[in-house]
Structure 1
Amino acid sequence: MGLSQINDIDLMNEKKSLNKLFECSDSFTSVVFNSGAGSGKTYALIQCLKYIISIHHDDLKNHNQKIGCITYTNVAAEHIKHQLGVSDVVEISTIHERIWSIICSQKSALLGLHIEKLNSEVELLNSQLLSNSEYEKYRALDASAQERFFQLMLENKKKYNMAYNLKATEFKAAMPEEIRLQYAELISNVSKFKGLVDKLFKRKRYLDCLCKIESGEKDYRVVNYDAMYNRDRLDKMRISHDTLLEYGYELIERYPRMRQLIIDKYPYILIDEYQDTADIVVKIMSLIEQYAKQIKHDVFIAYFGDSVQNIYDAGVGERLTRLHPELDFVLKEYNRRSYIEVIDVANRVRNDEVVQKSIYSDCSGGDVKLYYGSGENVSEFIEKCAEKWSVQIENPLHCMFATNQMVAEYSGFPNVYEAFKRAEIYRGIGYKQLNSELLSHDIIHLGRVQAILYRLIKIYTEVREEKQPLRDILPSDKYRNMSFLDLKLLIASLRAIDGNTLDELLGKIFNEYSMSNHQMYKLVMEKIFDVDEDLSYDKVLAIFVTSLYKSWDETLESKEIIHDLLDIKLEELLNWFHYIHRDEKKKICYHTFHSTKGLEYENVAIILGKDFGQDKDLFKYYFMNYEGNEEQDSDKYEKGRNILYVAITRAIKNLRVLYIDDFEEIKDGIEKVFEKAYAFTNEISIDDF
């Protein structure tokens, strides 16, 4: 069996780290619980929650106080809730949910911040119009000519939107004659013309919003946040996830009363996976603790995580103690996840002061090997892993790739990946965003176009599931007033949406949208596509083009520019959707390195090369500099180490690695980590593999 027996001495030593954590909570000494992968950090967090509840439940209840537990993802929040059970003094949520719950009642202060933000955005737009070279011809006009141009475009806004996706010559022909004659210089370059008009329209929306706020119009009195939409709609009073954190920090930094409110409400704050937390969140926590000391109130802030598992560029990682100084440290050396064979390799990958050992006395029996070969060996290598470990749907093989493209190919959505990869915004340094904006399992990180596709495929699948609750499909505050017959007709209309490709799907949607008088159908579609102007097929194409391209061939229509996106088969979009949802039922599941963080699997295969996406020679550099040198690029080395460490430590028992690039120049480094490397050939027997 394995991993089932713990001797009393190891158990007692493990409890020492927990006891120190408990002592810190008793004395309100803020702390970092830092330990390696598989050590049970989440277990320690839950035990800390249980300890605080057991000692202070009644006091917390009597003073209407809570223990705040903050996670990086919704999945982590649900896991902790499940493990902890129901408690009336604990609130477990993502940081965005918690910050919003704290500040949403501060309506006046939020509105003030929103006005500042709108004014700042208007100033930014004005600055761009005054300084950017692409608006030089606009600046050459006198004030009255600029105003006349804007009024003309405003009067012809509908015509402009309808013509947006046409080829340059056809677009020009669709514009009013006065524009073509009096403003010929402006319209000579259509893409710059569109950029100018879009900015002018955007500025007007912001200015109109400011006027509506000032006059106290009904829908402009309160700032809103919706976790499903990671995009600012400032003119519609809706903020994104990043702006939410920005507003939260500003309120807490400006107003001592906000800090006092948090301290009084949450005397205990526990943060899971601290290394992935944004700097601004740590700054908020530091502000809270500093103020608590100043007013002589008690607050306990505990960070649980591991700086070596920081693999996200936005994560605080080793900057934690610079942003939040004077924290105590609790270290834990025991591993509760893996067999010793996996732990030993992980320790060598990590190669720092944290050296783990198993908590279990029966921890032998793991199976770890590294092979070297080429890209041509990948499929055969994966098949051998599957056969070696007799994988089933109930106990699958989890295969990790260092490249997004291979994950997409093996998961059944290669054309989805290729369509986005070819988009201008993901070229060059923008490629780094492709992983999170297309392949993230946390939908708040999806790009704008990807989020639209996600919401579209989500409703496509939900209306076809007989047992899917209506509240998960439709805006809950609207459908409750509908008759049963109207609901039935709405679901029928939504189920009728179908097609072989994305373009066919959109065609069906907007054919119904233009002909239907069903307001709920229109509302559902408006929620899905989330547009700034009137919704239409052409408007959606314009969003796709302008979101994915900064410039484009003016001789082409929008449909030609994004034809590879529109031509994607519905089947591939469904495969992509199921990948995002992690609801694939397969014997072999495929992952990016980043997407497996925090998870554990019995059987793991890793396909490794010298590069990591656009990070050229990242793993090659790590292995070549394994024992360090004076001229070492520490950031590059640590990034390669951290990513490899996270991948290796997903394995519980069985682990195979295939290195598919030139092996000889890094042989020494690889063998220092894995002890021995084997040449992969198709002739290797399953027993020897």
Structure 2
Amino acid sequence: MYGKYSGKLFTITGEKTSKVTGKKDYDNDPLKFNTDLNVEVDKLNQKILDEIKSIDYNKVRYNETRYNNFKELSFAHDELLEIASLLFKKHGLLGKIISDKFDFILIDEYQDTNEKIVDIFLNSIPKNNKTTIGFFGDSMQGIYDNGIGDVEREIAEKKLIKIEKEDNFRCSDKVIHFINTIRNDGLKQELALKNDETLEDRKGEVKLYYSIYGKKPTNNNSVVDKENYLDTLNKMIAHVSADNPEVKKLMLTNKSISNELGFNILYQIFNDRYTEVKEEIEKTFERIQLIEIYELCSAYKNKNYNFVLAKLKKCGFEINYPGAEPRSIKSQKV
């Protein structure tokens, strides 16, 4: 609590606090320490409230980054979800508007959907509405830690009807058998063939590689712990790749891909600031024309000269043969 207070105080006032009281001193009189800290927290909260009230609320905006900005009173992506939740709870009309506007709302990969958003759709839309809410996904395929994970509680409360998808039109028979073995939700899938597909078309094999590490590090663990975990994981992947050179690796996050392809530092720079990292990297590269340069170099390397010539001509340039008389080109406004 003291650390959170210290950070907020510096953000709001620029004041630095003294080092936090050590455990030995704290244990001598914890009640006094907590009481004094709460008094200071109340003072800071009042300053924050006064600052917010001094700013025109019409200027509050979404800033499209990962961080709230107190000085300009703009909020980040995670806070957008929080604000949406508060608005729907306070103003019942919003739920009615959604209900009147949409007959169906279908949410894909529900297991990675923020819990507050799930709550909006299940609890803020009028009970007598005609809007059908559909959640599609698999609770065992969650990628992100901040998703709802599963909706078993909502199913138990009769807010959702569970429809299990037993037919598997994608995997081979051995993969399906393996998946059924490790699932813990009771679902057992069966091989289902597409039109004109035979059992032979869906044959495959399964190999399980594993490495024992211990407890997986969380966001609160040190950088060293995270690096040790990734090092163990990458060694196992390298071993699998050596044994199976034809195997394609599926990476679930862009961060994993950046580590694999060697631009993890660049990715981290954008990840520390923006929510939509991939889009922000692309926008920046387009702004400094790096993507165009890459496209030109790649086209030239692959002997796609028509692409190169078309790009150059569009920019007002032409390539002449050696010894040919240069031709003038009208300047173009860019």
Q: Give the TM-score taking structure 2 as reference length.
A: 0.55
Q: Aligned-pair distance for 1:308?
A: 2.4
Q: Aligned-pair distance for 1:449?
A: 8.6
Of 164, 167, 174, which residue of structure 2 is paired with 1:334?
167
Aligned to 2:242: 384
Identity %: 24
Aligned to 1:355: 188
Q: Are the counterparts in 1 of residues 285 and 291 from structure 2 also a CA contact under 8 Å?
A: no
Q: Deviations over 1:220-254 (max 9, x none)?
A: 52432243x12222442322223222222222222
SS at match of 2:203: coil
Measure the CA separation in 1 of the matches of 2:135 and 2:163.
10
Of 308, 319, 322, which residue of structure 1 is paired with 2:154?
322
Q: Are the counterparts in 1 of residues 175 and 206 from structure 2 also a CA contact under 8 Å?
A: yes
Q: Aligned ranges for residues 279-290 of structure 1 at < 5 Å?
A: 279-289=115-125
Q: Deviations over 1:176-211 (max 9, x none)?
A: xxxxxxxxxx7xx5899xxxxxx9999767634422
Q: Are the counterparts in 2 of residues 343 and 357 from structure 1 also a CA contact under 8 Å?
A: yes
Measure the CA separation in 2 of the matches of 1:409 and 1:244.
29
Q: Aligned-pair distance for 1:352?
A: 4.3
Q: Which amino acid aligns with 2:160?
A: L
Aligned to 1:256: 92
Q: Aligned-pair distance for 1:413?
A: 5.2
Q: Which amino acid aligns with 2:149?
A: G
Q: Aligned-pair distance for 1:284?
A: 1.0
Name the structure with the higher strand share: 1
Q: Are the counterparts in 1 of residues 154 and 160 from structure 2 also a CA contact under 8 Å?
A: no
Q: Are the counterparts in 2 of residues 282 and 320 from structure 1 also a CA contact under 8 Å?
A: no
Aligned to 2:109: 273
Of 130, 134, 152, which residue of structure 2 is paired with 1:302?
134
Q: Are the counterparts in 1 of residues 143 and 252 from structure 2 also a CA contact under 8 Å?
A: no
Measure the CA separation in 1 of the matches of 2:278 and 2:202.
46
Q: Aligned-pair distance for 1:447?
A: 3.6
What stretches of structure 1 of length at least 5 have no aligned partner? 1-123, 136-149, 165-185, 193-198, 214-219, 418-436, 469-689
Q: Which amino acid aligns with 1:211?
A: S
Q: Aligned ranges for residues 527-542 of structure 1 at < 5 Å?
A: none
Aligned to 1:465: 290
Q: Aligned-pair distance for 1:277?
A: 1.7
Q: Aligned ranges for residues 392-471 of structure 1 at < 5 Å?
A: 396-398=248-250, 410-412=260-262, 416=265, 446-448=271-273, 459=284, 462-465=287-290, 467=292
SS at match of 1:366: coil
SS at match of 2:54: helix
What stretches of structure 2 of length at least 5 have no aligned partner? 22-40, 194-198, 213-231, 294-334
SS at match of 1:302: strand
Aligned to 1:225: 62
Aligned to 1:365: 203
Aligned to 1:548: none
Q: Give the TM-score taking structure 1 as reference length.
A: 0.29
Q: Are the counterparts in 1 of residues 171 and 202 from structure 2 also a CA contact under 8 Å?
A: no
Q: Are the counterparts in 1 of residues 66 and 274 from structure 2 also a CA contact under 8 Å?
A: no
Of 17, 34, 54, which residue of structure 2 is paired with 1:211?
54
Measure the CA separation in 2 of the matches of 1:399 and 1:316.
21
Measure the CA separation in 2 of the matches of 1:466 and 1:400.
24
Q: Which amino acid aligns with 1:412?
A: G
Q: Are the counterparts in 1 of residues 77 and 275 from structure 2 also a CA contact under 8 Å?
A: no
Q: Aligned-pair distance for 1:264?
A: 0.9
Does the C-alpha gap of structure 1 residues 453 and 253 become closer, same or farther in structure 2, counting only changes over 3 Å? Answer: closer
Q: Deviations over 1:455-506 (max 9, x none)?
A: 57962564133649xxxxxxxxxxxxxxxxxxxxxxxxxxxxxxxxxxxxxx
Measure the CA separation in 1 of the matches of 2:278 and 2:176.
40
Q: Deviations over 1:568-617 (max 9, x none)?
A: xxxxxxxxxxxxxxxxxxxxxxxxxxxxxxxxxxxxxxxxxxxxxxxxxx
Number of aligned residues: 244
Measure the CA separation in 2 of the matches of 1:283 and 1:380.
42
Q: Are the counterparts in 2 of residues 341 and 366 from structure 1 also a CA contact under 8 Å?
A: yes
Measure the CA separation in 1 of the matches of 2:113 and 2:288.
36
Measure the CA separation in 2 of the matches of 1:455 and 1:191.
38
Aligned to 2:221: none
Q: Aligned-pair distance for 1:325?
A: 3.2
Q: Aligned ranges for residues 631-650 of structure 1 at < 5 Å?
A: none
Does the C-alpha gap of structure 1 residues 410 and 242 become closer, same or farther in structure 2, counting only changes over 3 Å? Answer: closer
Measure the CA separation in 1 of the matches of 2:144 and 2:268.
15
Measure the CA separation in 2 of the matches of 1:256 and 1:373.
51
Q: Aligned ranges for residues 461-540 of structure 1 at < 5 Å?
A: 462-465=287-290, 467=292
Does the C-alpha gap of structure 1 residues 457 and 223 become closer, same or farther in structure 2, counting only changes over 3 Å? Answer: same
Measure the CA separation in 1 of the matches of 2:243 and 2:138.
30
Aligned to 1:244: 80
Q: Aligned-pair distance for 1:380?
A: 6.0
Q: Which amino acid aligns with 2:172?
A: Y
